[in-house]
Amino acid sequence: MPDDASDIGKIANLLALMVTQDMARSTAATTLQACGFSYREIAGLTGSAENSVRAMVSSAKKKASTEKAMKEIGG
């Protein structure tokens, strides 16, 4: 009997690869993290080290937060 959870996981990974194929690695990592993928899963999908994925996502979040703050103060 096939493992439905495993099959669903494979489908999710394929869809993630399709959606992020033309994105920069940092953008793909942030998008995948927002969709619920773990850092380890993102590393496997993007071919990056897990620590690199953590750094990319963290950097993107800080940048977004800074841009939002600048927009709010009119800068």
| Residue 24 pLDDT greater than 70, yes or no | yes
Q: Residue 23 gets which letter from DSSP?
A: S
CB 59 within 8 A of CB 26: yes
In this predicted structure, the answer to whether residue 2 has a pLDDT above a threshold of 70 is no
Q: What is the mean pLDDT of the chain?
A: 90
Range of the domain at 10: 4-72
Q: How many domains does the chain have?
A: 1
- pLDDT at 1 > cutoff 60: no
Encoded amino acid at 4, one letter: D
pLDDT band for 6, please (50, 70, 90 cuts). confident
